[in-house]
Structures are given as structure tokens and as C-alpha cells.
Copies of this chain bind each other. A is one copy, B any other.
Amino acid sequence: MDGRMMAYPLTLIPLLERARQVFGSVEIVSRRPDRSIVRTTYADLHRRARALAEGLQRAGLRRGDRVATMMWNHSAHLEAYFGIPAAGGVLHTLNLRLHPDELAYIVNHAEDRFLIVDDVLLPILTKIRDKVNFERVWVNSFPGTTLPEGPESYDAMLAEAKGDFAYPDLGENDAAAMCYTSGTTGKPKGVLYSHRAMVLHSFAMALPDACAMSFNDCVLQASSMFHANGWGFPYTATMVGAKLVFPGPNVDGESLLDLICAEEVTLANGVPTVWIGVCDALDKHAGRWKVPAGLRVLSAGSAVPESLMRNLDPHGIRIFQGWGMTETTPLATMSHVDPEERKQAAEAQAQEREVPWDGQSLGELHIRGPWIAESYFNMPEAQDRWTEDGWFRTGDVVSIYPNGCIRIADRAKDLIKSGGEWISSVDLENALMNHPAVQEAAVVGVPHPKWQERPLAVVVCRNGAQVGKEELREFLAARFAKWQLPDAIVFAGEIPRTSVGKFLKSRLREQYSNWKWEP
């Protein structure tokens, strides 16, 4: 017997409508590429997103058509976040940092029909233009730039709107957005998000034990909106009516700190690299910024070095960690450390409990839930990423504590197999980065004639700092068994990264594959 409740689909449309009704005057602040600030409101978002939807329908958009964006973080990108799904289309955010060949592959695999592109990013479009087939391209121009011949103006399309747009009759399982995983191996794989997943994810993200995002927050969107839905912050902030701040392309430490202080940001997100930059700037220019009291920062994308948390703490910035993947919309679990080190339960979403939750036993994390992908877009050959009973295999090897907190030991492929034992590269990296002379460290398994694999550490020193290999080994020896210590330590100027800032370990493994171990 069914309940007698209204059939009210969970779509992004009520979020947009409610933002106008209830939060219409709340500010959305964007920094342009030229660093100037532009202020709009949720009422503007509502009007312009609807104008975009109207323009797309006028251009012949059909339900489910993919509309790509190639944009930085700013209010026009937020318009696309809402306007494209509101028109019945699928927002496809393109990762600007990919190689042109990969980008072209993704555009073609997704069968993107239209594109909205920032004028400052046209050089990227130029590189793929003859490999792809956009039916129409609209350019979002910033003041002071001249539109080149060819593409159309985004603002002109919006200006044509008559204001008579009517929402299509969307179901909650309709596709709303799409994002390709930036995996370091294999072809990029498309994840197709439903309206329902986005709405439920927003509810979860705002919960007090997740980000505690509220109407009273001022939210800095420092994670890229072209990757994993900007971690869902754009939708969550719009749902709760928080003031939103977009940094544009300038996400260096000083630029972010200027913005954080000027706008009195209370909640921000971003990959650890971004916050390392913030931390460095604070250390370098002591007293220059007065960070708003109680600033909370969600960091994710790769493990947050303990040293980063400790270094930001005296500046009054509290980091908490998220874990997720493109396939998980992306928030899947979150972990807070509070001043009393009180045990805090993570938002562990329904993991299978096949290994004991003892904080020790390792196993691959399998996950399921209403905002977890059930398959990739048009890629049946990748279906082995799901178990037969419907769980997604994350590829991360973890242990789970009794209170539900998850420790990510490693990506399955990054675990180092030494003489039948497993060594966590992440643990070694975090420990190395706790050394005051170390800026960054990556550890990979390298083939070894006797032990199958042994750990090799690539270390980047802080500016001007020096440290010996033996000192680092001794530093590690305080926390690791001898057989777990890296047999080789290599100093380097930088560590190769993926397009979203993660260590590109596949390249390191390749680079050191013929390493001559000392006997």
C-alpha cells in the first residue's frame, strides 16, 4: 500500500524558484579574470538562468541534449548549472586542464551539442575545434575583451529572452548534469547525474554533520566548477540561500585571502593544493589579512596533509575532510576533527561490512546510495566497476573505525606490494609532509627483484630548505616499521599532477620503473 503523499519530484527547479522567492536579494559575488568584482543576486540568477533555458529551447534543445560549459567559477557558470537542466538539457562541465585530445574525446563521447565558453578560454576551444562538432557556441565575454569573429555572444542570447519560458515537465530521474572522471588510467568515463541525485546530495551536504551550510553562511566556491559539480556547493548554497563567492581563475593564496577577508567568507572548499597556497601566503605576509572568525574549509580530492591542518589552525582556519568521487556526486563521507578530538561519526553511506570496523582491517570501499552512479554513460565495458549486487567499487583501499570514520589507506593501484605485505603510499606521504623541510612528497611502488615492489619516495623541499635522505628515513622510522620505509628517496623540483591537482603516480611509476636498487 502506497502512502498518500504528493508526487513531488526532486528537481533543481524548486531550488531555483525558491532562491528567487526567499533569497532574491542575497548576493552572488564573482571575481572576473581581470580581478574586478561583480555583484549579482539570486534574483539575477533566477532571471538569467531562465533566459538561458529559453535561449536553449529557442536554439532547438531537445530533452536530454548535452550542453557543454568551458568556464571558470563565476555567476555565469552558476547560470549554466541551473539554466541548462531547467531547460531539460544536461549540463556537461568540461575540465579545462585536460589534454586537447582527451577533451575532444570527451566532447565527442558525450555528443555535446552546444557549448558555452568564457572568452578567456577560447584558446582551449581553438585547440579542439576541428576535432569536435558543436552545433552552436556561445561566448561569455568579460568587459574589455573583444568577441572574435565566429562564435555568438552569450549575453546577446540572454538579452533576446522574452521571459515567457515555461519549465518542461521534468521527472526526478531525468538527467541534469554530466561529468567525466579524470582517471589516470583508461579512457575518461562519463557520469550522468539525475535531478534527484543533485537535490538529495544538496540536503546531505548542508547537514550539520557535513558542511553545516546555512542561510547565514558566506560560501567561497574555490573548487573548480568544471570538476565533480564543484562538489555540489553551487546547488547546496542556492538551496539554503547562502551568499556565494566565486574567485574566477585566480585561486592563488593571496587572491583567495583578499576575497575571503573582503567578503567575510565563513565556509570554503578546495583541494589541498589551494589551501597549501593560502597557508604559505599567510606565513609569508604575517598580519596582512584578518581571516574571518570561524572560517571552515572543506578540503577533498586528495588526502589533506596533517601538517596543513596544523599550520592553518593558528590562523583560525579549521579544515575538515571530505571523501568522494565523480561517481558519487561527489560527497560520500566527511570527517571533522574538533578541538577536544571528540570521536565524530562520518557520513558513512551504507558500506558493506565485510571486513570488521576495527580501524585496522583493510578492504576496498564499496558504496551505494541515492546519489551514487549505477553505470557510466555509454560504456558497458566498464560495468565491472560495480558488484553483481549493485555496489560501486571505489578502487580505494580503506579501514573503517568503529564510529564509522574511514581511513583511506590508498588507491588500490597505489598500494605497494612488498614481499606479500601491503604498504600504504598515502601514509608515507603524509608522514613525509609533516617534516618541516618537505613541501610535497609522493611515494610509489617500484619493481624490485627480491620483494616484487619496494617504496620509492619523491620529495620536493620547501623553498630554501634542505634535508638529508638519512634524516628523512629516521623521521619516518618513528612511525613506521623498518620494512615499510622507502628504500629510495629522490629529490625533485615538482611532482607531476593530474588535471585536478592530484599526484600523477602513473607517471612516477613509469619514470622510476627501471630504478637500480642498492644491493
Binding site for B on A (CB under 8 A): 1-8, 10, 14, 17-18, 21-23, 63-64, 90, 173-176, 191-197, 200, 203-204, 206-209, 212-216, 240-241, 329, 342, 344-346, 348, 350-351, 353, 357, 368-377, 390, 392, 403-404
Considering only CB atoms, which chain B residue lies closest to A369 in the complex?
Answer: B8
* A17 in complex: contacting residue of B17, B200, B240, B350, CB < 8 Å: B350
**A173 vs B253: C-alpha distance when bound (angstroms):** 48
**A208 vs B344: C-alpha distance when bound (angstroms):** 18
A345 contacts B5, C-beta separation under 8 Å: no
Residues of B within 8 A of A195 (CB): 3
A4 contacts B204, C-beta separation under 8 Å: no
**A8 vs B390: C-alpha distance when bound (angstroms):** 10
A374 contacts B174, C-beta separation under 8 Å: no
Sampled A-B contacts (21; CB under 8 Å): A1-B63, A2-B173, A3-B176, A3-B192, A3-B193, A3-B197, A4-B192, A5-B196, A5-B197, A6-B372, A8-B368, A21-B353, A21-B404, A22-B345, A207-B207, A207-B240, A208-B208, A208-B214, A208-B240, A209-B214, A241-B345
A7 contacts B374, C-beta separation under 8 Å: yes
Known: A22-B404, A345-B241. A375 touches B174 (CB 8 A): no
B376 contacts A1, C-beta separation under 8 Å: no
Residues of B within 8 A of A404 (CB): 21-23
Q: How many copies does the complex hold?
A: 2
* A348 in complex: contacting residue of B7, B22, B194, B208, CB < 8 Å: B22
Residues of B within 8 A of A6 (CB): 368-370, 372-374, 390, 392
**A14 vs B369: C-alpha distance when bound (angstroms):** 10
**A23 vs B263: C-alpha distance when bound (angstroms):** 38
**A174 vs B2: C-alpha distance when bound (angstroms):** 4
Known: A5-B197, A5-B374, A370-B10. A208 touches B213 (CB 8 A): yes
Across chains A and B, which 9 residue pairs bring their CB atoms closest together, nearest first? A3-B194, A1-B64, A22-B404, A208-B214, A203-B203, A8-B370, A4-B192, A3-B175, A6-B374
A194 contacts B2, C-beta separation under 8 Å: yes
**A134 vs B6: C-alpha distance when bound (angstroms):** 30
**A374 vs B3: C-alpha distance when bound (angstroms):** 9
Residues of B within 8 A of A197 (CB): 3, 5
* A350 in complex: contacting residue of B14, B63, B203, B403, CB < 8 Å: B14
**A390 vs B394: C-alpha distance when bound (angstroms):** 42
**A64 vs B377: C-alpha distance when bound (angstroms):** 37
CB distance from A347 to the nearest CB of B (A): 9
Residues of B within 8 A of A374 (CB): 4-7
Residues of B within 8 A of A344 (CB): 215
CB distance from A389 to the nearest CB of B (A): 12
A8 contacts B372, C-beta separation under 8 Å: yes
Known: A3-B175, A3-B192. A348 touches B21 (CB 8 A): yes
